[in-house]
């Protein structure tokens, strides 16, 4: 007999350090507390992208309280969470704001009556993996960490002359391949990184993170080389590396995703994650 899944979309969270953003919750209707999973999207990502809803449902069906959210400055808005309508916010995003938002999400949902506050897992995709690593190294309450196609460094900025031009002009643009929008990056992003370079050191975070750590990556990742995953595994000898042959950066998902099933590679990643969490975190 299947368990009813409670789905609550577009809940407004008000982080006083940043601005309002939205979060979704998926969990089974049961009479006991559940491990909390927080999913952290990546660069040019958002909570409703592609097959993330189907992924959330699969984690809920497996017995978890699953949360996904939009970073406050990811370019989406509370009114329109599935399009980049606030490019000024996108340009003013930085790692400090993302870590503030992630901390706010954790503090908000750890207090929910359905949540077992002793079982907390972060899942970060791409740049969100780097952010999740930093947060995990700072917060010992997090006892599970899974990275999906994660970067091994947050120091991903223009170099040399391009960096000088960014400083001089105050902004540089990156085209969104899907929407063709010119996405601004204001120089404050780099200044924030310089001010907090030690904190944002993903290598140090990987070495010091105490949580059970699973590194998932596709061998055909076109955006973040599989060498990043191998490096993270090297930095944390207690971690587990799980490579999916020929999987790309989004594990077969795309936007929009109109199928009612997860793409095969993402389904493989989710099933491995569920197995890992149940073995390492739930039964720990």
Q: Token pair of 104, please? A: 């706010």
Cα 127 to Cα 61, 66, 100, 228: the distances in Å are: 27, 20, 15, 12
Q: For the segment 150-196, what is each residue's pLDDT rounded down to a tens digit?
A: 999 999 999 999 999 999 999 999 999 999 999 999 999 999 999 99
pLDDT in tens, 59-103: 999 999 999 999 999 999 999 999 999 999 999 999 999 999 999
- For residue 1, pLDDT beyond 80: no
Averaged over 22-43, what is the pLDDT? 98
Please tell me the pTM assigned to this model: 0.98
Domain ranges of the chain: 5-154+199-282
Q: Which fold has domain 5-154+199-282?
A: Rossmann fold (3.40.50)
51 to 47, 55, 113: CA distances (angstroms): 10, 6, 28
Separation between Cα atoms, residue 218 and residue 220, nearest integer Å:
5
């Amino acid at each position: 007999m299947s368990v009813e899944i409670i789905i609550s979309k577009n809940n407004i969270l008000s982080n006083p350090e940043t601005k309002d953003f939205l979060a979704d919750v998926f969990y089974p209707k049961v009479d006991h507390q559940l491990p909390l999973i927080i999913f952290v999207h990546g660069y040019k990502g958002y909570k409703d992208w592609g097959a993330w809803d189907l992924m959330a449902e699969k984690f809920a069906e497996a017995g978890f309280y699953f949360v996904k959210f939009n970073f406050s400055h990811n370019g989406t808005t509370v009114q329109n969470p599935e399009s980049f309508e606030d490019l000024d916010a996108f340009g003013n995003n930085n790692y400090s704001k993302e870590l503030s938002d992630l901390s706010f999400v954790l503090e908000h949902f750890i207090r929910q009556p359905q949540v077992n506050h002793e079982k907390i897992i972060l899942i970060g995709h791409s740049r969100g993996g780097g952010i999740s690593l930093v947060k995990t190294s700072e917060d010992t309450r997090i006892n599970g960490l899974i990275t999906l196609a994660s970067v091994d460094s947050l120091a991903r900025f223009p170099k040399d002359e391009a960096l000088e031009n960014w400083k001089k002009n105050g902004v540089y643009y990156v085209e969104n391949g899907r929407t063709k929008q010119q996405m601004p990056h204001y120089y404050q992003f780099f200044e924030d990184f310089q001010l907090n370079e030690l904190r944002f050191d993903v290598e140090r975070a990987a070495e010091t993170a105490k949580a059970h750590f699973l590194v998932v990556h596709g061998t055909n990742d076109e955006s973040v080389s599989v060498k990043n995953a191998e490096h993270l595994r090297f930095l944390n000898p207690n971690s587990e590396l799980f490579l999916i042959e020929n999987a790309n950066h989004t594990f077969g998902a795309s936007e929009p995703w109109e199928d009612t099933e997860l793409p095969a590679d993402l389904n493989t990643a989710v099933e491995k994650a569920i197995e890992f969490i149940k073995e390492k975190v739930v039964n720990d």
